[in-house]
Chain A
Amino acid sequence: MDIEKKSESMLEHEILSSPLEMDPDILAAEQNPSTPLRDSLRRFAQDKRALISLAIVLLMILTSIILPPIYQQIGPVLTLRHGFLHAKPSQYHTPWFINNESVDTGPSSLYWLGTNYLGQDMLARILAGIQVSMIVAVLVVGLLDVGLGVLFGVLAGYFGGVIDTVLARFTDLIFAFPGLLFAVLITGIFGQKAIEIAGNNGMLILVSFTLGLTVWPQMARYVRGQTMQLKEQQFIEAARTTGSTSLQIIIRHILPNIASLVVVAATLDISGAVINEGVLSLLGLGVQPPGSSLGLMINESITNIAQYPYETLLPAAVLAVLVLCFSFIGDGMRDAFDPRTKD
């Protein structure tokens, strides 16, 4: 009996001090106790495709912010319009400056990526276009999709009742407008007005607003479903019995638990927002000249695609890379945060 006990404890000791314990992974895990968030981040960090995409997107965004001020310092003073206009690079390296003596040129030391049919700088326009895509993505997804979606989703899921019914009806209504139809309707009718009021900024806000209006119900649906599931769980019940108010429960227990779902869904929605802004601008319903947007650049050059294919293919390719990268990031996030969906 005694021996048995002893051997048992020895065995235990042996297991505890076995080489397994010295495994660096486990040591690291002990120093950083594994939390769901850390696990997810680790899984994401192992996804090469998503990481490369993230790096490319960050590089593109940084370039679109840092390069223009530098680019506008580089270049000689041009003498244009028979000597009537002396243009500095800070003028002609902008997205809107029209140099009609240098139209449809390919890349050169003066215009790094050439000029378009009006003699506008392609590089400056592309960088401005990337910025537009990002602004729309932030406004649509960051503000409306996440903001409204989470707010109404949580309220509908947690309290049910009237809010839930209204949300369901509104969602049905919005889903009846397929794809871009709602955005085409609104930007088509009110676009002119928005431009009159606030120029291209007004147009950007209108475009973002209408695109946001069409995506948030989907987000609200996800959040609502998740909230309803959480609400039934015991830890919420425990919180309620210890006297937490509904607001406290939502802030402390529900929101942290739906965060990963929201982040993943929002990342996946970014590509959609970028594409849709591109489509609206392409159809002539988004950003208007002399402003710039990747979709608008395609719109402006596609009629001359036979002579100058480069002017259309370049913005199209930039947009494709942007969209593809966001798709890969979103896909990677979903696999990392919700491993169940990964087969």
Chain B
Amino acid sequence: MLKFLVRRVLGLVFVIIGVTFITYAMGYLAPGQDPIKALLGQHYTAIAYHNLQVQYGLDKPWEIQYLNFLWNLLHGNFGLSYRFPGQSVNDIILPSIGVSVELGLSAFLLAILIGIPAGVAAALKRGKWIDTTLMGSMLFLYSIPAFVFIPFYQVLMDILVAHNLPYLPVSGWEGSISYKIAPVVILALTNTGYFARITRTVMLEVMGQDFVRTARSKGVAERSVIYIHAFRNAMLPLLSVIGPSLAYLVSGAFVVEDLFNIPGVGYQGINAVFNRDWPVLQATVVILATAVVVMNLITDILYSIVDPRIRVS
């Protein structure tokens, strides 16, 4: 177990260093106006320029800049914004992490609560109309991207407003829970479809195995066969798919955050692109990539606890 852990953590460190290097290199190679000049604008003087350059650490050669970048990262410091003078990237990005986690986690739970039971139901009624209908609609949810659902949702809300019917807000996040319903549901749709399809496949595979037949033939009640024998064994392969999805939900919410004006990490990242605020974009990328890698590691560890055979291979 220890050996397995050490190997996985080393791999993680490699990946994170790789990610920071790519991100750093992109910011360094970014074409366009010198960020310090852009920051100074009309107040440009040679002395002010030099002072700021030193303050931002941009007077040093690139390898030193990168090491500084890493060193600051280790201390949880993402540097200074190129767009907003005097503001640190932390001020901009840290509040958004909570928002993204809340959005992603809620969508994740919703997708699990709907997707997995739907998949189990479809597997149990295999070939029946319930199965066909469920899986057809799940493929629909899985295939259609969020940014197609959002305009339709907005139009629906406009219609409700026009007819004096109860409606949900189409933009914003802070405030009452009514703001959160639509973004969470729409973000969850794709994964609901995905979880349902995977659950069905895995369940069918498990249900066809010998130990299920044994359980049935020795007279175990069908309910126990399904929930104790089959489902518990189906959990394992499900875990390996569902774990990483959480990170993807937290980080893949660019579109939902953008179209609903939710100040999450993705939203800040997109804004940073238009502000040419590379340090903020770099912070976004490093935070999200780290989240993914760490989630994958946690999944692997959980998996190896549940199924010790994994550690060997």
| A binding-site residues for B, Cβ under 8 Å | 169, 172-173, 175-181, 184-186, 188-190, 192-193, 271, 275, 278-279, 282-285, 295, 298, 302, 305-306, 309, 312-313, 316-317, 319-320, 323-324, 327-328, 331, 341, 343
Docked-complex contact B152 and A316, CB < 8 angstroms: yes
Partner of B14, one of A172, A175, A192, A343: A172
Report the interface size class on chain B. 35 or more
A166 to B213, CA, bound (A): 44
Residues of chain A within 8 A of B158, CB atoms compared? 305-306, 309
On whether A176 and B15 interact (CB within 8 A), knowing A185-B26, A278-B145, A320-B148, the answer reads yes
Stretch at the interface among B53-61, B270-278, B300-308: B270-278
The interface residues of chain B lying within 8 Å CB-to-CB of A189 are 26-27, 29-31, 273, 278, 281
User: Of the candidates B19, B139, B147, B247, which one forms a contact with A278 in the assembled complex, judged by CB atoms under 8 Å apart?
Assistant: B147
- Whole-angstrom distance between the alpha carbons of A186 and B22 in the complex? 10
A319 and B148 contact, Cβ closer than 8 Å, known pairs A176-B293, A179-B251, A185-B281: yes
Instruction: Give, as a whole number of angstroms, the nearest-CB distance from B212 to chain A.
Output: 15
Cα A271 to Cα B291 in complex, Å, equals: 26
Residue among B19, B148, B200, B272 making CB contact with A316, cutoff 8 Å: B148
Question: Would you give 18 A-B contacts (Cβ < 8 Å), ordered by A?
Answer: A176-B292, A178-B289, A179-B252, A181-B285, A181-B288, A184-B273, A188-B272, A189-B31, A190-B30, A190-B31, A271-B143, A279-B255, A309-B154, A316-B152, A323-B145, A327-B143, A341-B201, A343-B201
Smallest CB-CB separation from B18: which chain A residue? A173
With a cutoff of 8 Å between Cβ atoms, the chain A residues found around residue B142 in the complex are 327
User: Judging by beta carbons under 8 Å apart, are B292 and A178 in contact?
Assistant: yes
CA distance A292 to B41 in the complex (A): 34
**Chain B residues near A184 (CB-CB < 8 A):** 254, 269-270, 273
- Min CB–CB distance B134 → chain A (angstroms): 13
B139 and A320: CB pair below 8 A?
no
Give the chain B neighbours of A316 by CB distance below 8 A. 147-148, 151-152
- Report the separation of the CA atoms of residues A323 and B139 in the bound assembly, to the nearest whole angstrom: 11
Partner of B15, one of A173, A271, A285: A173
C-alpha gap A179/B247 in the complex (Å): 10
Q: Are A320 and B269 in contact (CB under 8 A)?
A: no
Interface-central residue, B144, B148, B269, by most chain A CB under 10 Å = B148
Whether the Cβ atoms of B288 and A178 lie closer than 8 Å is: yes
Is B179 an interface position by the 8 A CB rule?
no
Interface of B: prevailing SS: helix
Chain A min CB distance to B152 (Å): 7
Contacts of B251 in A (CB 8 A): 178-179, 181
- The reply to whether A320 and B144 form a contact with Cβ atoms under 8 Å apart is yes
Residue of A nearest to B142 (CB): A327
User: Complex formed: what's the CA distance from A122 to B265 in Å?
Assistant: 34
Q: A306-B154, A309-B154 are in contact. List 8 more A-B contacts (CB 8 A).
A: A176-B18, A181-B284, A185-B281, A186-B26, A282-B255, A283-B270, A327-B143, A328-B139
Interfacial chain B residues near A172, Cβ < 8 Å:
11, 14-15
| Contact B252–A169 (Cβ < 8 Å) | no
- Asked whether A305 lies within 8 Å of B278 as measured between CB atoms, the reply is no
List residues of chain B with CB within 8 A of the CB of A320.
144, 148
Question: Which one of A178, A188, A298, A323 contacts B143 once the chains associate, using CB atoms below 8 Å?
Answer: A323
Contact assessment for A309 and B155 in the assembled complex, using a CB-CB cutoff below 8 Å: yes
B151→A169 contact, CB < 8 A: no
Report B22 CB to chain A, min CB distance, Å.
8
Which chain B residues border A181 with CB–CB below 8 Å? 251, 269, 284-285, 288-289
Q: How far is the CA of A305 from the CA of B148 in the complex (A)?
A: 13
Shortest distance in angstroms between B207's beta carbon and chain A's nearest beta carbon?
Answer: 10
Docked Cα-Cα span, A246 to B296, in Å, equals 36
Contact B26 A275, beta carbon cutoff 8 Å: no
Asked if A176 meets B19 with Cβ closer than 8 Å, knowing A282-B147, A324-B143, the reply is yes
Given contacts A323-B144, A324-B144, contact A188 B31 (CB under 8 A): no
Q: CA–CA, A193 to B155, complex, Å?
A: 36
Tell me whether A177 and B285 are in contact (CB under 8 A).
yes
- The docked-state distance in angstroms from the alpha carbon of A193 to that of B276 is 13
**CA separation between A284 and B142, bound complex, in Å?**
24
Residue of B nearest to A279 (CB): B255
**Interfacial chain B residues near A271, Cβ < 8 Å:** 143
